[in-house]
């Protein structure tokens, strides 16, 4: 079919209304305009001649014959082919380096590290415009930028606009390596190599050779993108072929907007026949759209001008450009221009909405005493011209740390003493090289919430500060557990700056409780809610403090003293302002609103998103991965913050931390699950099935880092029955748990652990026959599973428990004993034996040996009790396990059974007891699992040799 060529105005409209983040593919003309940059073809060929003269000048005539009659790209490829064939790839790389260095400004140093300083290079206008676009509108233009150039000018231009480039170079086989992109970085992918530390591709043979990993690499970085192609001729290279295939892949969902210089469709089709033929299927499907009359030296500035005003970061009138991309200068003028909170917005904040700068400056929002304490600390640092500081605010979620952070930063901005630099999104990083360049004449206060993903950037920035420097300071907040998990506590902060004592929010003072209650009272019944029934401020304050302390105690008991995930402040707030019935009504209200709010640019709605979040948080799982949530509701992953997390935060429904999304509190999550099932008719079995299906599907993507919640979600089945809210009937909780476990076995089919999880879920639900049947029928395929060695012993242990739970008859006890013994035996080698295996299996064996033991000398089961108790203590000093073994020894004492003198004797007794159970068994299937006379525990014995004696 002929190609349709649309005008520039259509391109600008397509970009402005794009429903997916935009990436770029750019070629050499960005670097060859009159503004400087790497030279075009003719100068490069002259550099080839120079290289030939330097190596073997007599060969120059042969070179001239090789390029005779060739022009532009053909001449370039012929020259590089000749150079490679006669002087190897090293000569080619040398010419590329010389060509790139021509973009250096006159008078700059010849020797420099890596790519050197930005100011030493000529940056062409088109290159600068593209860099400005990706740095200043990061939500719509997150990248990556793919380029066939070898030079560093794009990366340098990004640095000049306060951004941090993440350089990736396609390897010879098309792979991108395993380097990790850091928060806020902009990927620059060099498709044909790089000018330093890598080979470069030029010749037809190099460019068309099969690179099998290229397509997978491109799928990874272009997934759910709109790709703008400018100044790229669609060479007959493997990239163009791979791109055509990717566009046809439904799962990748790439739209290509291809820019041509020529405005004549016939000329475009005639000059790009191979490209047009290659993309015909994509043209037919509308995935490839061509635009004509595009000037690559100006198009990116025109795109920036066509974007809606909302896409441009808000800055003060007349303010200078922020020195770091993705960060914003907060000053008194900006704060004064913010619209005041409406009464309903104040109430929504008290209900748990995520705070903003409008809340920070509002007189309706109470200020706790820690705000003044922070203000005092910050003022002292400024007045004393003290060394650079790090001030961390840490707490569990829902303790008010974000409000405290914003209020303290706003106060600092109002003084005029500080230039406050604020991170606009938790996806932004902090480039240390940009921090080092901050204006030394200003006092900088760098402020960031959710700082757990900034630990490495903060450490790098702090380490680059000069000794005695006093003008760069850090004020950050993070969830306590997330900061620890990110190893924030393990950084040597004191080597680089002064670390102020952490401000930890846990309890609330009487004065602060009074301020909060009085603020609620000003909002009337909507502010007080259930507290309105109390007749005095004092009684309301007392009730709030009492509820907060109860919530803190409840969290401590749940976590056994470990860091809580839910804040006691918000837990207390829920208790006194809502109560359970009031909370259900409140949740019902915002779920009703969210039911009709589609996820912008997605296939689901905010209601769906919140139910998925609550399904995890409401059952004890620490949130759901942002990536998996985005995939579940059909939102492009880069837009999960703006399309899902932010609107849910405004509804007091959800928050983000460490790349995961939570509800405001686990009590809120539980209320959401109850309402979803009982009021809105949502089947939580289906919710969990979809949740596990998407989790496993996303987790299979190449290079995907699934995060700490992947395994808890996949293995949720066995715990859901007790973890789901008790307001759901027991039958419903059983059904939901089984559905989740069955989904895990179906979608994570390569894991034997999912078989074990499903069987345990059946057992918990009282269907031991289904569990036994599953174990028996799955055994033949067990060795094919990828996690066989890690879980096979636990698999056999659980199998034995299920066989034993079929009834009280001796046959079932013998089955439990036999299979439990085999779980520790050499028949499962080479599977390792862990401390958990030792404790769990020996405790189980002790129980069944007790049921079989008789009161006569030499009873193998009585000695089995002693052996299991003795050997089980090698599993570690676990008080609960030790308690089991103590009780087992007491039973053995009653039977007058001697104690084993050492490990060898205990192993002998264990072997005899297990073998006897195998001999007595009547079940032919179980009896055929192994020969009792051949049972051995040599591996178990060896594993004990390195452990501490009990």
For 66-89, what is the HEC assignment?
HHCCCCHHHHHHHHHHHHHHHHHH
Phi (first) and psi of residue 840, to 5 degrees: -65, -50
Query: How many Cα atoms occupy the beta-carbon half-sphere of 888 within 13 Å?
Result: 32
The mean pLDDT value for 171-179 works out to 60
The separation between CA 642 and the C-alpha centre of its own chain, rounded to angstroms, equals 16
pLDDT of residue 32: 44
pLDDT of residue 310: 47
Say how many C-beta atoms besides its own lie within 10 A of residue 372's C-beta.
Answer: 13
The residue among 638, 586, 585, 640 whose CA lies nearest residue 609 is 640
Q: Which residue has the higher pLDDT, 315 or 38?
A: 38
pLDDT of residue 796: 98
Residue 191 has pLDDT above 80, yes or no: yes
pLDDT of residue 878: 85
Cβ density class 506-519: b for 16+ within 10 Å, e for less: eebeeebbbbbbeb
CA distance 842 to 868: 5
The mean pLDDT value for 211-240 works out to 75
The residue among 918, 919, 895, 899 whose CA lies nearest residue 909 is 899
User: pLDDT by residue (tens digit) across 97-111?
Assistant: 888 888 899 889 888
Cα-Cα-Cα-Cα dihedral sign, residues 623, 625, 628, 631: positive
The mean pLDDT value for 53-62 works out to 89
Comparing 8-12, 250-254, 689-693, the range with the smallest average pLDDT is: 250-254
* Average of per-residue pLDDT values in the chain: 89
**C-alpha distances out from residue 155 to 76, 164, 169, 867, Å:** 25, 8, 13, 67
**C-alpha distances out from residue 358 to 11, 117, 339, 354, 362, Å:** 37, 39, 7, 11, 6
pLDDT of residue 235: 57
User: pLDDT by residue (tens digit) across 766-814?
Assistant: 999 999 999 999 999 999 999 999 999 999 999 999 999 999 899 999 9
For residue 234, what pLDDT band results from cuts at 50, 70 and 90? Answer: low
**C-alpha distances out from residue 521 to 197, 343, 673, 926, Å:** 66, 12, 31, 70
CA distance 125 to 33: 8
Residue 34 has pLDDT above 50, yes or no: no
pLDDT of residue 556: 59
For residue 317, what pLDDT band results from cuts at 50, 70 and 90? Answer: very low
User: pLDDT by residue (tens digit) across 660-700?
Assistant: 999 989 999 999 999 999 999 999 999 999 999 999 999 98
H or E stretch covering 421: strand 419-423
CA distance 252 to 240: 16
The conformational region for residue 636 under phi > 0 = left, psi -120 to 50 = alpha, else beta, is beta
Give a three-class secondary structure readout of 784-841: HCCCHHHHHHHHHHHHHHHHHCCCCCHHHHHHHHHHHHHHHCHHHCCCCCCHHHHHHH
- Please report, rounded to a whole number, the percentage of residues in the chain having pLDDT higher than 90: 62
Q: Quick one: 697 exposed, middle or buried, by C-beta within 10 A (0-12, 13-18, 19+)?
A: middle
User: pLDDT by residue (tens digit) across 589-632?
Assistant: 999 999 989 988 778 899 999 999 999 999 999 899 999 999 99
Give bridge partners of residue 187 from the DSSP assignment: 166
**C-alpha distances out from residue 6 to 130, 256, 259, 295, 849, Å:** 22, 13, 9, 14, 81
User: pLDDT by residue (tens digit) across 731-769?
Assistant: 999 999 999 999 999 999 999 999 999 999 999 999 999
CA distance 669 to 574: 12
Residue 561 has pLDDT above 50, yes or no: no
The CA-CA-CA angle for residues 468, 471, 475, to 5°, reads 110
The residue among 575, 614, 620, 577 whose CA lies nearest residue 594 is 614
For residue 269, what pLDDT band results from cuts at 50, 70 and 90? Answer: confident
Tell the residue number behind the tokens 């009085």, with chain if given. 518
Tell the residue number behind the tokens 């903060």, with chain if given. 458
Residue 557 has pLDDT above 70, yes or no: no
Question: Across 263-334, where does the E strand assignment appear?
Answer: 288-291, 327-330
Query: How many Cα atoms occupy the beta-carbon half-sphere of 938 within 13 Å?
Result: 7
Tell the residue number behind the tokens 């022009």, with chain if given. 71
Residue 565 has pLDDT above 70, yes or no: no
Give bridge partners of residue 397 from the DSSP assignment: 566
The CA-CA-CA angle for residues 277, 282, 287, to 5°, reads 140
Q: Which residues contact 108 (CB under 8 A, 6 or more apart)?
A: 116, 120
Residue 264 has pLDDT above 60, yes or no: yes
**C-alpha distances out from residue 343 to 334, 517, 585, 646, Å:** 22, 16, 20, 20
The residue among 606, 549, 607, 543 whose CA lies nearest residue 578 is 543
The residue among 442, 432, 560, 541 whose CA lies nearest residue 162 is 432
Structure tokens at 366: 């109470």
Residue 254 has pLDDT above 90, yes or no: no
The residue among 50, 118, 60 whose CA lies nearest residue 86 is 60
Q: Which residue has the higher pLDDT, 590 or 282?
A: 590
For residue 30, what pLDDT band results from cuts at 50, 70 and 90? Answer: very low
pLDDT of residue 165: 93
pLDDT of residue 785: 96
Q: Which residues contact 741 (CB under 8 A, 6 or more apart)?
A: 716, 717, 718, 754, 757, 758, 760, 761, 762
The conformational region for residue 329 under phi > 0 = left, psi -120 to 50 = alpha, else beta, is beta
Q: Which residues contact 113 (CB under 8 A, 6 or more apart)?
A: none
Whether the CB-CB separation of 543 and 576 falls below 8 Å is answered with yes
CA distance 518 to 363: 12
Tell the residue number behind the tokens 């209320």, with chain if given. 671
Residue 206 has pLDDT above 60, yes or no: no
């Amino acid at each position: 079919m002929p190609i349709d060529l649309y005008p520039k105005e259509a391109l600008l409209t397509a970009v402005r209304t794009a429903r997916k983040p935009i990436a770029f593919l750019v070629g050499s003309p960005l670097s060859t305009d009159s503004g400087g940059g790497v030279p075009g073809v003719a100068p490069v060929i002259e550099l080839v001649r120079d290289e030939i003269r330097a190596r073997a000048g007599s060969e120059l005539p042969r070179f001239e014959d090789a390029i005779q009659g060739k022009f532009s790209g053909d001449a370039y490829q012929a020259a590089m082919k000749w150079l490679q064939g006669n002087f190897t790839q090293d000569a080619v790389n040398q010419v590329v380096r010389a060509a790139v260095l021509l973009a250096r400004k006159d008078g700059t140093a010849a020797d420099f590290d890596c790519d050197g300083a930005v100011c030493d290079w000529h940056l062409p206008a088109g290159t600068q415009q593209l860099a400005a676009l990706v740095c200043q509108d990061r939500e719509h233009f997150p990248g990556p930028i793919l380029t066939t150039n070898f030079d560093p000018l794009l990366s340098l231009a990004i640095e000049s606009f306060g951004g941090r480039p993440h350089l990736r170079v396609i390897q010879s086989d098309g792979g991108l390596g395993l380097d990790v992109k850091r928060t806020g970085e902009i990927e620059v992918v060099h498709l044909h190599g790089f000018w330093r530390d890598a080979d470069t591709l030029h010749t037809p043979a190099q460019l068309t050779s099969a690179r099998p990993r290229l397509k997978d690499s491109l799928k990874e970085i272009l997934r759910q993108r709109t790709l703008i192609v400018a100044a790229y001729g669609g060479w007959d290279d493997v990239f163009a072929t791979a791109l055509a295939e990717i566009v046809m892949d439904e799962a990748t969902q790439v739209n290509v907007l291809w820019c041509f210089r020529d405005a004549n469709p016939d000329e475009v089709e005639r000059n790009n026949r191979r490209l047009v033929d290659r993309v015909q299927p994509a043209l037919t499907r509308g995935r490839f759209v061509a635009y004509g009359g595009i000037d690559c030296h100006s198009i990116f500035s025109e795109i920036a001008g066509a974007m809606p005003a909302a896409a441009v970061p808000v800055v003060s009138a007349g303010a200078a450009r922020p020195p770091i991309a993705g960060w914003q200068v907060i000053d008194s003028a900006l704060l004064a221009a913010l619209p005041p909170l409406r009464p309903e917005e104040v109430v929504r904040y008290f209900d748990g909405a995520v705070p903003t700068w409008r809340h920070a400056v509002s007189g309706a929002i109470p200020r706790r005493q820690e705000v003044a304490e922070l203000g005092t600390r910050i003022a002292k640092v400024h007045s004393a011209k003290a060394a650079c500081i790090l001030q961390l605010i840490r707490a569990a979620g829902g303790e008010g740390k974000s409000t405290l952070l914003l209020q303290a930063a706003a106060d600092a901005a109002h003084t005029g003493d500080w230039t406050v630099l604020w991170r606009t999104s938790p996806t932004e990083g902090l480039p240390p090289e940009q921090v080092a360049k901050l204006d030394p004449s200003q006092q900088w206060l760098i402020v960031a919430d959710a700082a757990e993903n900034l630990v490495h950037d903060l450490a790098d920035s702090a380490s680059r500060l000069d000794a005695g420097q006093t003008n760069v300071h850090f004020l950050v907040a993070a969830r306590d557990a997330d900061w620890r998990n990110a190893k924030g506590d393990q950084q040597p902060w004191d080597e680089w700056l002064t670390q102020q004592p952490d401000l930890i929010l846990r309890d609330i003072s009487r004065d602060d409780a009074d301020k909060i209650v009085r603020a609620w009272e000003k909002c009337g019944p909507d502010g007080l809610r259930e507290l309105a029934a109390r007749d005095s401020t004092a009684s309301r304050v007392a009730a709030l403090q009492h509820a907060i302390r109860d919530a803190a105690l409840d969290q401590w008991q749940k976590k056994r003293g470990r860091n809580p995930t839910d804040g006691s402040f918000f837990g207390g707030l829920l208790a006194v302002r809502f109560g359970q019935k009031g909370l259900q009504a409140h949740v019902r209200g915002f779920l009703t609103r969210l039911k009709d709010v589609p996820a912008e640019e997605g296939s689901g709605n905010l209601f769906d998103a919140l139910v998925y979040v609550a399904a995890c948080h409401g059952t004890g799982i620490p949130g759901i991965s942002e990536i998996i949530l985005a995939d579940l509701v059909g939102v492009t992953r880069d837009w999960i913050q703006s399309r899902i997390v932010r609107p849910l935060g405004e509804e007091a429904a959800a928050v983000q931390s460490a790349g995961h999304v939570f509800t405001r509190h686990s009590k809120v999550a539980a209320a959401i699950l109850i309402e979803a099932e009982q009021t809105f008719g949502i089947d939580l079995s289906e919710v969990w099935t979809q949740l596990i299906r998407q989790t496993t599907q996303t987790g299979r993507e190449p290079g995907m880092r699934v995060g700490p919640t992947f395994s808890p979600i996949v293995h949720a089945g066995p715990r859901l029955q007790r973890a789901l809210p008790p307001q759901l009937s027991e039958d419903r909780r059983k059904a939901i748990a089984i559905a989740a476990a069955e989904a895990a076995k179906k979608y994570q089919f390569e894991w034997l652990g999912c078989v074990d999880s499903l069987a345990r879920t059946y057992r918990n639900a009282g269907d031991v026959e289904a569990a036994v049947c599953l174990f028996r029928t799955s055994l033949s395929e067990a060795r094919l599973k990828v996690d066989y060695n890690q879980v096979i012993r636990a698999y056999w242990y659980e199998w034995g428990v299920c066989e034993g739970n079929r009834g009280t008859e001796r046959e079932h006890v013998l089955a439990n004993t036999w299979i439990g013994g085999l779980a520790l035996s050499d028949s499962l080698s080479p599977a390792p034996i862990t401390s958990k295996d030792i404790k769990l299996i020996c405790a189980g064996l002790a129980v069944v040996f007790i049921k079989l033991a008789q009161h006569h000398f030499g009873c193998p089961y009585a000695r089995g009790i002693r052996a299991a108790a003795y050997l089980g203590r090698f599993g570690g000093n676990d008080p609960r396990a030790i308690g089991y073994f103590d009780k087992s020894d007491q039973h053995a004492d009653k039977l007058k059974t001697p104690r084993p003198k050492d490990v060898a004797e205990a192993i002998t007794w264990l072997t005899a007891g297990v073998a006897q159970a195998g001999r007595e068994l009547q079940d032919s299937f179980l009896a055929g699992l192994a020969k009792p006379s051949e049972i051995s525990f040599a591996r178990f014995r060896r594993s004990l040799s390195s452990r501490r004696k009990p």
